[in-house]
Amino acid sequence: MVNVPEPLNSICDEKTSLSQKTAVISLVGAGGKTSTLFWLAREFTGMGKRVMVTTTTQMYLPEENMPVLFCRSPNMLPGAAFPTPAVACFAGWNQENGKVLGFSSQQIDVLAKRNIADVLLVESDGSRGFPLKAPALHEPCIPESSHFVIALTGGQTIGQPIGPQNVHRWPLFSAITGLQQGERFGTDALKHFINHPQGMFKQAPSQAKRIWLINQCSQNENINGILPGILASTDIDAIWLGAVRESPPITQVLQRSESAVS
């Protein structure tokens, strides 16, 4: 029996119910997207949902015991080609960096309409292993069909000095937040980065619920006090805190409707 984390119950309770149509969940940001992607895949599979994992960028092959399907266009394949309960589907392989290649956001939008899976998990951004990033002009590549956009931040950066050593695309991040190298990533800068149109939720579809996942929170235990204020002054729908490689992966949840830890 799988102990379903409360955050996933919240997703299942939305009007975009997994029993009605494919729920598209896009992951952006930095600090553990791929680990989060496959944690979600395991949990949804344990709930009896059909899960498909893919990307609009490049990512490493799954370490999970999951079938991997390569095809030029998943929209042209019959539904029987997709194994259940879970499958990873990619467009190709980049031999130089050892990563798989994904599909365009438009291809994924069409795929979602086919209702082949209950949950479509999409890694929609790259960060080169950094715990924090700012999106470039061409990033992120989020399918318009996304019902949820989960933005990740490495918890070890919050309240700490930051710069090019721990931020991907530091010049862009500095321009968005106004922070200089060595300054601390505090409350004001966080709010600005979340709310800025070129910041944390850049290109998130208007209908998508916005979830901020602060990963590796065990490395920074002093952030809880600032989160209710951030939730109240941004358009985030929920904040998840935890470490997705640990158990339990999510230890606290703040919801906009309650403005309190559930």
In a domain? residue 1: no
In a domain? residue 215: yes
In a domain? residue 36: yes
In a domain? residue 27: yes
Q: Structural domain of residue 39, as residue ranges?
A: 6-261
Structurally, the chain folds into a number of domains equal to 1
CATH code (residue 97): 3.40.50
> Which pLDDT does position 226 carry in this prediction?
85
Contacts of 156 (CB under 8 A, 6+ apart): 131, 166, 216, 219, 220
In a domain? residue 122: yes
> Which pLDDT does position 4 carry in this prediction?
39
The overall pTM is greater than 0.85? yes
Provide Rg for the chain, Cα atoms.
18
Q: Compute the residue count for the chain.
A: 262
In a domain? residue 179: yes
Positions of the chain with pLDDT lower than 50, given as ranges: 1-4, 15-16, 19, 258-262
In which order are the strands placed within the sheet that holds 119-123?
Answer: 68-70, 86-90, 51-55, 119-123, 23-29, 148-154, 209-215, 238-242, 250-255, 260-261
